[in-house]
A and B are shown apart, each in its own frame.
Chain A
Amino acid sequence: MKRASVAALLVLIAIPLLAAMAELPPHGSSETPAYTHVSERYLQRGAQEAGAENIVTDVILNYRGFDTNGEVTVIFTSVVAVAAILLLRDEERTSQERSSTPVSPVLLFIVRTMAPFIALFGMYVILFGHLSPGGGFQGGTILGALVIVSTVVLGPDVAHRMVPAPARPWLQAAAPLTFVTVGLAGLAVTGHYLGFPSGDEWGWVGTLMLVVIEIGIGVGGGTIMASIFWMMEEER
C-alpha cells in the first residue's frame, strides 16, 4: 500500500515534469536561447578576454568566478559539518586498539611505486586546467585519493605527514581563502572583486591568477577529502 502510494506520487510528479521537458527548446540545437544569448559571447570572446584557452575554465573562474567562490565554500562547509558532528563522538568513545589488517607486499610495492606518479598527474591536471580539460577540482580529487590510498595501505602515520596537523585547518580553507585573496588582488589591480586583468600586456597576470586559484582549489579539495576520510575512519 505504502509502496503503491509512493509510486503514484512519483508518477504524479513525473507527468508534468516530462510534459514540460518535451516543450523545452530542443537540447543541442544551436538555435536555442541557451546557445544564442550569454554563452555565445563566452564562446566567441572567452579565450581573448578571460585569460584561459579552456572556455569552461573561463566561465567557472572568471565570468562566473563568484559562483565558484561560493561552491568551494560549500565544500569547506561539508568538512566543518563532518568535524562538528563527529568530534564529540571521539571523546565519548572509549579508546580501543584498532586491529590493523596486514597489507600484502604486492599492494605495498604498487602503491609506493605509483604514488609519485599519481601526485605528478594530480599536479598536472591542476596546473593545465586553463588549457585542457581538468583543473583544481579534478586534480584535487586525484591528490585527495592519493592521501586516502596511502592511509589505507601505508598506514595513517605516513599519510598524516603528507598534510601536517598544524597546517591542516589552513589547508582545508585553502580554496575559499585563495579565492578571497585573488579576488581582493583583482580589486586592487582592476577595480573589481575577482577582476582579472586582460589584454596583451597584462594578460599573463590574469592567467597567473587563474592558475593560483586552481592550485588553491586543488590543495583545499584534496585536504578536505582526506580529512573527511580520516574523521570517518576514526568514527568506524
Chain B
Amino acid sequence: MLLWPHWLALVVVVPLAGSVVTPAVARGSGRVAGRWAIGVMTVTFAIAITLVLRVAQTGPFSYWFGGWEPPYGIEFRFDEFSAFSAVIAFIGLLAVIFSQRYAEQALSPKRIPYYYCLLMLNLTGMIGFTVTGDLFNTYVFMEILSLSGYALVAVSGEKTAEMAAFKYLVLGAVSSLFVLLSIGMLYALTGSLNMADVSARLTAGVPKLPLIVALAAMTLGYMVKAAVFPLHIWLPDAHAIAPSPVSAVLSGLVVKMGVFGMLRMYQIVYRADVVDLSVLNTVLVWLGAISIVMGAFFAIFQDDIKMMLAYSTISNVGYIVMGLGLASQYSLIGASVHVFNHALIKSTLFLAAGAIIHRTGYRTLTDLRGVGHGMPLTGGAMAIGAISIVGIPPTAGFLCKWYIALGAFQAGRPFFGFALVFGALFIFIYYIRMVNAFYFQEPVHPEVARIGEAPVSMLAPMLILAALCLVMGILGRIPLSFIEPAVTRMLATIGG
C-alpha cells in the first residue's frame, strides 16, 4: 500500500478532517450527519487496526510530522499502550451507531449534526492523545477532547446538564492548567518537548525540586481527569446526565486519558531514573484504594442507574491507579489491561442503560423493576456487564483485577490485595441489587415488564460489546501478553 508508512498520521487526520466538515456535509440533517459519522469512524477503526497489527509484529514505531527528526519536530510514537486507540475507534464507532436512533429521540434536531461533530472531535482528541510522543502535542489533544467533552455533557438539554457541564469545565480547565504548567517546567529544565528526548535529558544535573513539583503538578492534573478520589466530584453528575452514548464514551474512554497521561509520565521518569518515585507511588496506591471503596460505597446508595454506573467508574479507575502505584510487573500489566477491559465493560453497561431509558423513559432502579423481562436482550447485556465489572471469572473483569492483586503481593503489600477483594465484594452488592431489581422484583410500572426490545441499531452495539466482555474473559491471555513487552521495557530501568 502506498500510504502504509503514513497510516499513523492518518489515524488522527482522517477523523479530524471528517469531524470538522460534519456540520457542512450534513446541512442541518441529523440523519446525514449520523451516516457520515459511521463512515468516518469505520475508516478510522480500520486504520487503527492495521497499526495494532503492525506494533504486534514489529514493536513500537514512529511518524515524524513534516519530516523533522525528533526532537525538532513532532513525533507520533505508537507503542503497545497506544493500541488503546483502536479500542477508542471501536467504541466510538459503536457509540455513533447507537446514537442514530437515540439522538433522534433525545436531542433537538438542530443540535444533532453538532452532536456528531463534537463526539468525533472527542474521539479524535483521544486517539491523538494515545499515539503522540510529544508533550505539548499531548496537551493540544487533551484540549480537543476536554472541550468537546464539556459540550457533550451540556448537549443533552436536561435541566441540570448545563450546571454539570460547567462544574466539569471548571475542574477540567484547572487540571489542564496544571498539566500545562508541568510541561512548561519540563521544557525549562530540558529544552525539549519530545517525550523520549525529555527522558534522555533528565540527567542527574537537573535541579530536583522543580522536577518534583512538575511531576506532582502533572499527576494532580491527570488525577482530576481520571476522577481519582477526592478529585472525582465532577464525574457523577457529568456522566449521569450526558446522553447515554456519550456517557459510554466519557466513562469508558475519556477518564482513561487521565490514567494514560500518568502512564506516559511514568514512562518518561522511569527511563530517566533521576527521582525516587516511591512517595508518589504510595500516594497513588492509597488514593486508588480509597477510590475503590468510596466509589463502591456511594454507588450502593444510588437509585438512578446511570448515577450508579458513574460511581462505579470511580471504583474502577481506583483499581487502575492502584495498579500503577504498586509499580510491579503484574500490577502494571493488570492496570493497563483493565484500562482496556473496563472501557468495554462500562460502555456495555452505559449503552444498555441508555437503551432501557430510551424505551421506558424511566431511570431509577425502583421504576425499572422487571425490565429484564420486558427487554430480555438488553437485560442480558446489562447482566453480563455487571458480572464482568465485579470480576467474576470467566469474564473480562477477572484476569486484570487478579493481576493487580497478584501485583500487590509481588510488591510486598498484601493489604492492598485484600482491599481490592473487599472492593470487589462491595461492587458485587450493588450490581446484585440491579440484577435483582431487573429480574426478580415486582414491577412498579406493569408496562415496563412487557415493554419490548430496543431497535437493532441500539441492540447490535451493546450485544457486540457484551459478547466481547465474555470473549475477553476466555481469551484474556492475549491482551496480557500483548502489553507485557511494553511494561517490561518501562520497568527495565528501575530493575522492577
Contact = CB atoms under 8 A, between A and B. Distances in A.
Contacts of A195: 66-67
Contacts, number: 179
A186 interface: yes
A196 B193 CA distance: 21
A27 B9 CA distance: 35
B67 A190 contact: yes
A21 B210 contact: yes
Interface string B139-162: 011011001101100110100001
Interface residues of B, number: 64
A116 to B, nearest CB: 29
A63 B73 contact: yes
Interface string A70-81: 110110111011
B210 A91 contact: no
B148 A196 contact: no
B230 to A, nearest CB: 13
Nearest to A65: B66
B279 interface: no
A20 B144 contact: no
A77 B66 contact: no
A229 interface: no
B213 A37 contact: no
Nearest to A82: B151
Given A38-B191, A66-B66, A193-B13, A172 B210 contact: no
Interface string A17-57: 10111011101000011111111011000000000000000
A80 B72 contact: no
A34 B23 CA distance: 41
A233 interface: no
Interface of B: 6, 9-10, 13, 16-17, 20-21, 23-24, 27, 63-68, 71-74, 108, 110-111, 114-115, 117-118, 121, 124, 128, 134, 136-137, 140-141, 143-144, 147-148, 150-151, 154-155, 157, 162, 181, 185, 187-193, 201, 207, 209-210, 212-214, 216-217
23 contacts: A17-B213, A19-B213, A23-B209, A32-B188, A33-B189, A34-B191, A37-B190, A42-B72, A67-B137, A69-B16, A73-B124, A77-B148, A80-B121, A80-B148, A84-B115, A84-B118, A87-B110, A87-B114, A90-B110, A169-B27, A186-B66, A193-B13, A195-B66
Given A63-B72, A66-B66, A196-B66, 20 more contacts: A20-B212, A37-B192, A37-B201, A39-B191, A42-B72, A64-B136, A70-B128, A74-B147, A76-B20, A77-B148, A80-B118, A85-B151, A170-B21, A173-B20, A180-B16, A180-B17, A184-B13, A187-B6, A193-B66, A195-B66
List 8 tightest A-B contacts by C-beta distance, closest first: A37-B191, A33-B191, A81-B151, A70-B140, A20-B213, A169-B24, A192-B67, A84-B114
